[in-house]
Each structure stands twice: as C-alpha cells, then as structure tokens.
Amino acid sequence: MISEYSLEGRTAIVTGASRSIGRAIAKVLAEAGADVLVSGRSRPDVEDVAKEVEAIGRRGLPVVCDVADRDAVAAMVATCNDELGPPDIAVANAGIFQEWGPGESVTPEEWDRVVAIDLTGVMNTCQLAGREMIDSGSGGSIVAISSIAGVVALQGSASYTAAKFGVIGLTKALAAEWAKHEIRVNAVSPGFVERDVEPLKEQPEVLEQIMGRAPLARWGQPREIGLAVAFLCSPAASFITGANLPVDGGWLAV
C-alpha cells in the first residue's frame, strides 16, 4: 500500500454505521488500518458491524447513539476518547430520507424529523468530534455525507434536499474555520446506491429517470462510497479541505 493511503494508528467515529453506506465506511476504514467506533440506533446491528471490524484486525467499539440528541453525541465522543483515544477521524453519515412527495405536502413534523437528523445531527457530530480534535492538538479529518440532493434539487424531496444543501454549506464553513487547527472537513455526495432501490420500486417513472441520467447507468455500491471517504480521511488528501466529492456515476455531470 502507498503509505499516504494508510490509516494505521488512527481512531475513527462513524455514525449511522449499522448498515449500507455507514457499514461499508466502517469496514473500509478498518481495512485501511483505523480502529472504529461504530455508531447507530440499533444495538444488535452496531454490535454486528463492530465484530466485522474486529474480524478485519482492528478494534471495533459499538455505541448506540441518536445523532439528533446532542447529549447522546457528546457521550459517544467521550466514550471514543476513553475507550479508543481521541478521534482522528469523524464521519457524519447518519441520515434518513423523507416520504417522496410535493413540497406543498411536507408537514412540519416531517420537516423537523428530517432536518433534526440530516443537518442538526451532522452539526452535532462534526462540532463535538471537532472540539475533541482541537483539544488534542493533533488535527484530524471530518467527512460529512451529503447527497446529489445537496447539489441539485430532487423533485419530491424538499426537506431532504434542504438538509443536504445545508450539509455542504456547513462543511465549507467548518473547513474554513478549522484549517488553523489542522482539521480538514470535506463532504461526500453519493448518488443512488443499491439501498435506494426498494422504496422506489413503486415509482417506476422515478427509477427510469435515475437510470436514464447517470452515464455509468448502474446503481452504486456502498463500498464505493466507503473508499471515497477513506481517501478523504487519509494523508493522500492532505491538501483537500472544504471540498464536496460526488460519488454518483456521473449523475451530476449531465
């Protein structure tokens, strides 16, 4: 392995790590050499992923956490510090989607639910992990998971689109502020991955639009997102901060 791609000796926090993209991120970071705190809302699921991390040969620490609960995020970061050491890497991946529907139909409850997790939860994770990195004085790397919906509007997803646009703005703001602390902050914007197929099966017109647009004309794999995240967390990306990396099969290119 090229040494600049190694994460040997690093400690990572990954939220929303119990399945799909988050699970893949946790496993790829472990393969690159990091110990990983695996966070999610289901204890059995995070315990399973932590075991997979340990099977790779790294330490895996399962922690149940709702990122919309600031106190829970603070406790998660403290647990990382106590059990694995101060975080060198934080991946704010936890997120939910909304029910597809027109903007005029979005209820206040739906708006609050999506924004609480997809934007406020990202802020909680980035801010509290970032404080730990600042206090440790050793710098670090933070990656926030946005979406292609953070770059262009996806019709029928007003709440989700607004939150994901906010994630990219937050990424840029923190990158500008924390560069003096040697903390890099970047975003990754996945396109449609295999986890998205099931809820769209009842909307064939949406599926046709998705597959008809992306030049690579296929669904992404969670591992492909994990590999992009691992790159941004590594010394190979040492001169990259405030960036948003689409991993979308070219969906945003056309």
Active site residues per annotation: 160
In this structure, is the dihedral angle defined by the CA atoms of residues 3, 7, 220 and 171, taken in order, positive or negative?
negative
Residues 6+ apart with CB under 8 A from 136: 86
Backbone angles phi, psi at 51, to 5 degrees: -65, -35
Instruction: Give 102's strand partners.
Output: none
List own/partner pairs for 168-174 with CB under 8 A and 24 or more apart.
168/144, 168/244, 170/119, 170/122, 170/123, 170/126, 170/144, 171/144, 171/146, 171/242, 171/244, 172/242, 174/126, 174/127, 174/130, 174/142
User: Mind spelling out the 3-state secondary structure of 32-74?
Assistant: CCCEEEEEECCHHHHHHHHHHHHHHCCCEEEEECCCCCHHHHH
**Residue 86 near residue 132, CB atoms below 8 Å:** yes
Task: State in Å, rounded, how far the first CA of the chain is from the last one.
Answer: 34
